[in-house]
Each structure stands twice: as structure tokens, then as C-alpha cells.
Amino acid sequence: MRALAAATLAIGLLTACGSGGSGDEKQTVTMWIYPIIADQATHQAFWDGQTKAFEQANPGIDVKVEIYPWAKRDEALSTAIAGNKAPDVVYLIPDQLPKYAKTLQPVDEYLSAEAKGDYLDNAKAAVTMDGKLMGAPILMSAVPLMCDKKAFDDAGVTDYPSTWDDLLAAAPAFKAKGIDVTNYWADPAATLNQSFYPLLWQAGGDVFKPDGRSVAFAGPEGVRALTFLKQLADGGHLEKDLLTGLPKFEQTRIAQHKVACTWQHVPADVESFWGKENIKVFPPLTGVKQVAYGTVGSLSMLKAGDDKQAAGKWIAFASGAQVTKAFDVASGYFSPQKSTGSLYAGDPLQAEVEKSLRFATAGPLHEKARDVMGVLAPEIQAALIGEKTPEQALTDAAKAADALLGG
């Protein structure tokens, strides 16, 4: 992996495009991004190499890339926007786009038809609002089904699940050996993107109704998804501590080979606990649909920037297929572009995750998405610990959510 990353990174550093700046005055483009490549020095070196290549091809433009911490990134960006000190370009994920939509400049006109046509459909959908691209995708992720071979061996189970019914049917055999068939993080502080929403989508449901003015999760699809979870909880097939708290990962049963399968983690989360040889990656479970959560990272342009043409040239360059290929391999993410092909043919685990990109969705693009999650999560928890029925929990959550939406 490291050798492949280094080789691909080198290719990316040498890739350049653009036609040079216009006029005699140099334009400066500032971009904010976050620690996507874990090693700070490697991350900084990547962007130093890219800015150098870009500036050589565009001598009228200087680019400054600033790497900010993940913590309080929304607060920092909101403050900068309010104080007219925002960057020209910023890295955003889908659920941030609606929040900043009024301050963002669509990037469609700055990307070539070829570049836009190269994006995977679900990558493009994840950054599109009102028919406009609010960011240029540079990475994707997917969280498919992952199972522990040792847990299966210990339970004497040989068939891996592909549907909800398969998981429920296998649960007693695992329980008899002291193993949970899956895990579920129900504490309200945990995101629903990787826990309840995949089940809601697999049931054929969605968070919001098409007009976005009210929620849809309390419909029969949502009840079906929460009832499935409650069956697992009531049957003693889920770790109880995860229903009410957020223990450190190393203290959880999944870190102890006591969970058979999960749709809430990726191989990197468990490799040091399971060993690579025990990690089995499969496509996401099927309810009535086969869907997994996956995010899309994109480069967005702020409206307040002084020179949008310069910023647009930088976005076109930094989101180009050769640059993103190098960036994604170096960071362990996946390409949003068709032309890059498989990035992980030599890594069996990453290659299997990569195959699940086609099932991935980033979820609803709605400015109140996080607020709605905040009222729904505790109601799901209430159902799983026996305080409410699935129907009542979702009905109560919908009332609170619709009030937030003005309904």
C-alpha cells in the first residue's frame, strides 16, 4: 500500500493543467482542507507539490493551502464567512453543503464537460443542489457489510449473511456461543448515517419527503427498519452497553471477536483487533433495497472570493482525475471518477470495499439534516431500550422534526 501510494503520489505531483493567469497582477487563491491524509507532513507535502505544479502552469495565480483541524471546523468556517475572511475554496462533505449553500458559488462552469461526465452518478448526486454542482468531488467512501471470520469459526457458522432475514436467522447460533450477530451504536451522540439510516434506505424509506418540508422516516419503511433493530435488541443479539453509551472502541465486544458482522465500521477500524486475515468484506445487506452509507468529499467555492476564475482553475486542477487518484491512494479513500479505474487492485480488502461504492449514498442534502438527526436519535434509543414501541418512537420524532422544519 505504501509503495503504491508513493508511486501514485509522485504521478499526481507531476500532473498539471491550465492555461496561465490573465493580466499582470497575480491572483491568490486560498483553500482550507482538513487532515484527510493522517500524517500531517505527508499531507502538507502533497499539497505543496500540487500548488507548485499548478503555479508553474498558471504563473498568474498563487495558491495557498491551509490544513485546519477537524474539531470545530464548522464554527471556524462560519466565523470566517461572517467576518469576510473566508477562503476562496473549502473542503466540504454533503451534509455541510445545504448549510453553506447561500454562500457557495456553483462550480459547474469551471469544470469541463469531460470532467463532469467522468464523475460516478452517486458522487455527482451527493454534491448537486437545484441542478447545480455545489462542489467538485475529490474522494468517496463506502461502509458495506464487514464480518469477523474468527467469530464465524467460533460459532460454527459457515454462511455469511446477505439479507436482513439471513442476519436474524443466524443470530441464535452466535448467541449460543456468546457472540452478538451485529452491533448498534444507539447513543444519541453517534451519527445515524452509519447506523439507522442504512437500514431505513434498505427498507425503501428516506429521511425527508421529496419536497423537504416534512420527514418521511415515520412511514412503514422506517417502522420496518426500527422493528428489525428492536428484534435484535430484544433477542439479546446486540451489545447492551452500546445502546446507552459510547465506550472506547477497544472496550467493545467487536474489538474482542464477539461480534459477527457490522455495517458501522470499515476494515481500518478493526484490523489491529481482528487481524487482516479475519476481515471479510461483503456488499451491504438487502432489505428491499441494497444500500450503504458513503460520503463524498468535494472542493467548494465561496461566493465572496475576489477572483472566481482563478479559484475555478484551481478547483478544476485539484479535482482532476490524476490528482484525486494520487490523493485518494495516499489517504486510503476512493476515487469519485470513472476514468481512474480501481485504485486497490493489489489490496483484497480495499478492493472489496471499492466494489461497494456503487451502493453508496451520502444521504439527504437538507439544511436541517443534522437537526433532524438530533431529535430522531434519542427516540430510536428509547425504542431499543424498551421505553417506546417503534411506531411511537418514530411518530414522536416526526412531530419534533416537522416542527423544526416549520411543518
Among residues 188, 187, 229, 222, the alpha carbon closest in space to that of 370 is found at 188
- Catalogue all structural domains in the chain, each as residue range(s) with its CATH number: 2-141+295-351 (3.40.190.10), 145-293+368-404 (3.40.190.10)
Residue 5 reports pLDDT greater than 90:
no
3 state DSSP class of 306: coil
Cβ–Cβ under 8 Å, residues 50 and 12: yes
Min mean pLDDT across 2-11, 74-83, 117-126 is at 2-11
Report percent pLDDT > 90 for the chain.
Answer: 92
Which has the closest alpha carbon to 265: 246, 277, 281, 278? 281
* Distance between CA atoms of residues 327 and 297, nearest Å: 12
Q: What is the mean pLDDT of residues 205-228?
A: 97
Side-chain-facing half-sphere of 47: CA atoms under 13 Å: 22
Mean pLDDT in residue range 360-372: 93
At residue 24, the pLDDT reads 58
pLDDT at 19: 35
Mean pLDDT of 21-38: 84
Model-level pTM? 0.90
- pLDDT category at 220 given cuts 50, 70, 90 is very high
User: pLDDT band at residue 13, thresholds of 50, 70 and 90?
Assistant: very low
Is 177 a residue whose pLDDT tops 50? yes
- Residue 381 phi/psi, 5-degree rounding, is -60, -45
Q: Are 309 and 316 in contact (CB under 8 A)?
A: no
The SS3 of residue 333 is coil
Residue 25 pLDDT level (bands cut at 50, 70, 90): confident
Average pLDDT, the chain: 93
| Mean pLDDT of the 108-124 span | 97
Cα gap 397→391, rounded to integer Å: 10
Q: What is the mean pLDDT of residues 357-385?
A: 96
Quick: pLDDT tens for 142-170.
Answer: 999 999 999 999 999 999 999 999 999 99
Quick one: cell of 254? 467487536
- Residue tagged 471556524 (cell numbers): 76
Q: Given pLDDT bands bounded at 50, 70 and 90, which one contains residue 189?
A: very high
What percentage of the chain exceeds 70 in pLDDT? 94
pLDDT digits over 311-355, tens only?
Answer: 999 999 999 999 999 999 999 999 999 999 999 999 999 999 999
Report which of 193, 144, 125, 93 is spatially closest to residue 357, judged by C-alpha positions.
144
pLDDT category of residue 21 using cuts at 50, 70 and 90? very low
